[in-house]
Structure 1
Amino acid sequence: MEIVRRLGLSPRQRGSLSNATCPDIFELADGDFAVIGTDRTAELRDKLPADAGVADYEKIVVVSRATIVAARADIPNA
């Protein structure tokens, strides 16, 4: 698995001056995306809609709005 590129601005460009708040989004060579965010699985699992679920190997990760907005222009349409 290989990271091809970052989507959006780096955490430092978005104002993070430490490693404490560094959500990030990366495109992988296979076309999937890797996300660094805050694991909120325990808090949100029971609040998911009835038709959604989290497998044992999955996590619910929260990424700041600023991270997604900064990445918007880099997210492919297809």
Structure 2
Amino acid sequence: MEIGSSTPSPGTLSSVGSAAVSGLQRAEARVADGTEQLAAGNLDPAVILDISTAQTGFAANAAVLKSTDDMSKRLLDMLA
């Protein structure tokens, strides 16, 4: 969407949602990898930090997804 435009560009909200879902999947994979390493006995602090960082990333992407959903609902309400 260009600055000053009154209508969003097609696909803008869906591309943000897609990016958020991809971020959720990447964070989930990082947590799974880290927990496997911990279960195998790797107590490296970097592994624990990566799990923590992935959890924060997951929460951030979930918030983006919720915001995208809220914006979509508001847009539909305005157009109805």
TM-score tier (shorter): under 0.3
Q: Counting helix residues as a fraction of each chain, which structure ranks higher?
A: 2
Q: Counting strand residues as a fraction of each chain, which structure ranks higher?
A: 1
Larger Rg: 2
> What is the TM-score of this pair, normalised by structure 2?
0.24
